[in-house]
Amino acid sequence: MGMFLGSAATVKLAGPAVILSFALGGVIMMMVMLALAEMSVAEPVEGSFRTYAAESLHPYAGYVVGWTYWIAWVVIMAAEIVAASTYMRLWVSPELALVFGLVFAVAMTLVNLASVRSFGEFEFWFAMIKVVAIVAFILIGGAAILGLGPFTPIGIRNYVGHGGFAPKGVTGVLLAMVMVMVAYGGTEVIGIAAAETQDPATSVPRAVNGVALRTIILYIGSMTVLVGTIPWFEVGLGASPFVRVYQLLKIPAAADIMNFVVITAALSSMNSGLYTSSRMLYSLAEAGAAPNFFTRLGKKSRVPYLAVVGSTFFLYVGVILYYLVPKTAFLYITGIGGFGFLFSWLIISLSQIYMRRRILARDPSALKFKMPGYPYTSWMTVALITGVILTLPFVPGQRIGFISGLVWLGIVSLYWLVSCRKRFAPRLITTRRLVGLEFASLVGLRYPERDIYSGDEVGTGTRGSNG
């Protein structure tokens, strides 16, 4: 989700020390994953962390985290539109790139209004393209740094030169954390998908281990190569820094190929985000937390088309923002999305603390998978996430995300008091297969894939399709 373009913002904030930002962000992400895994194994319910929050904290907590998770996904979709439009500028003028952004938005809307039968295959292959591209980038960039093959060795000069490893100091490392968390945002879909499997006690640990491995290789590895091959101050938001690396290495056609890959990645993330957000809106409507008309299904497609249209609105907001402020649109939008994901992670961590107490009092044997170091690691995670949220006002371009997040919480809280408080059902009954399954497919979760609205079996295996 925006890692290809968002990495530019993080490098600008921290310099080569962005590697530490991604490492610390990976630790926080893993702690959240472990917390969600413990709850998913102990009580694999449909609704996942929204249900856990409603039952362990308060129904309001489940309600507000559901809506906030929805807004996080829909604004990240807008960010991907901005990213895809920006990438197109390698080949076309900025004005024509805007037209392509509109075409992308319409295309993703039409895809999500169609049947979901082929959705899993579509996202599986696009996810694989991203993974193969990142692995190739790490290998080629690593060879350039070490001077293997045809490359003149770059060495460590880009790590320690130009102001040192941490030219912006500890402050830069911490401020970059906001954008880093946006890159990691969406990994919590593993917990949701794992809770739907036949054997959560087996599949959840495997999923968590898969996320850890992918974090080390893909995120930290690619950022290490990125800041090693290109001076940190030359990284900008005008194009993907990954494409810029290939341009500097003068590899024929590699920059164009990588640009195609990052556009594909943006479209894939956009498609998964629209699928996830529309199903989230559908399920919230079923639970009485959103207008009932969002539960309407297409007669043939069995797709919640009004929920898709309601969520896709933000795709066009992204196109408009790209037109108005093309240089800063990505930062503005990801600030809002970052707040949404961080808030959702905070609620997940708090839910685990209080749900553990409830499970121990009721049935300790249900804790087949435990978060290590509880309660110290749990409270540490809460503190770290809170700290990252509090840095939002101090990050250039991210203050609007913090303010918008607080305004959003105020709006949904008012809606709760006026309309939802007495009719909200904590256990949402049709959240199965809500998530984009990119992460689940890559760590090898196995389950029967079904269209939850028609009951038709799509296929069985690891393929399916949350940065």
Q: Which two tokens stand for residue 314?
A: 């933000």
* pLDDT at 294 exceeding the cut of 50: yes
* pLDDT at 392 exceeding the cut of 70: yes
Could you tell me the CA-to-CA distances from 301 to 295, 424, 454, 467 in Å, in that order? 14, 28, 9, 29
Q: What is the pTM of this model?
A: 0.80
Distance from C-alpha of 434 to C-alpha of 215, rounded to nearest angstrom: 23
Most confident of 76-90, 118-132, 177-191: 76-90
Give DSSP secondary structure letters for 197-244: SS-HHHHHHHHHHHHHHHIIIIIIHHHHHHHHHS-GGG--SSS-HHHH
* pLDDT at 448 exceeding the cut of 80: no
Average pLDDT over residues 371-396: 89
Question: Would you state the pLDDT for residue 428?
Answer: 47
Q: Please, which pLDDT band fits residue 191 given cuts at 50, 70 and 90?
A: low
Distance from C-alpha of 124 to C-alpha of 458, rounded to nearest angstrom: 14
Question: Would you state the pLDDT for residue 289?
Answer: 80
* pLDDT at 3 exceeding the cut of 60: no
Q: Which of 233-247, 284-298, 351-365 has the weakest average pLDDT? A: 233-247
Give DSSP secondary structure letters for 419-433: IITTT--SS-S--TT
* pLDDT at 160 exceeding the cut of 60: yes
Average pLDDT over residues 437-441: 37
- Reported as a single tens digit per residue, the pLDDT across 49-74 is 888 888 888 888 888 998 998 888 88
Q: Which of 350, 284, 264, 253 is nearest to 53 (CA)?
A: 350
* pLDDT at 324 exceeding the cut of 70: yes
Expressed in angstroms, the distance from the first to the final Cα of the chain is 4
Number of other CB atoms surrounding residue 314 within 10 Å: 23
Distance from C-alpha of 211 to C-alpha of 29, rounded to nearest angstrom: 9
Q: Is the peptide bond before 44 cis (omega within 30 degrees of 0)?
A: no
* pLDDT at 256 exceeding the cut of 50: yes
Evaluate whether 333 touches 78 at the Cβ level (below 8 Å). yes
Q: Please, which pLDDT band fits residue 349 given cuts at 50, 70 and 90?
A: very high
Question: Would you state the pLDDT for residue 467?
Answer: 37
Question: Would you state the pLDDT for residue 291?
Answer: 83
Q: How many helices (H) and strands (E) does the chain have?
A: 19, 2
Q: Regarding predicted confidence, which is higher, 447 or 227? A: 227
Domains of the chain, start order: 3-461 (1.20.1740.10)
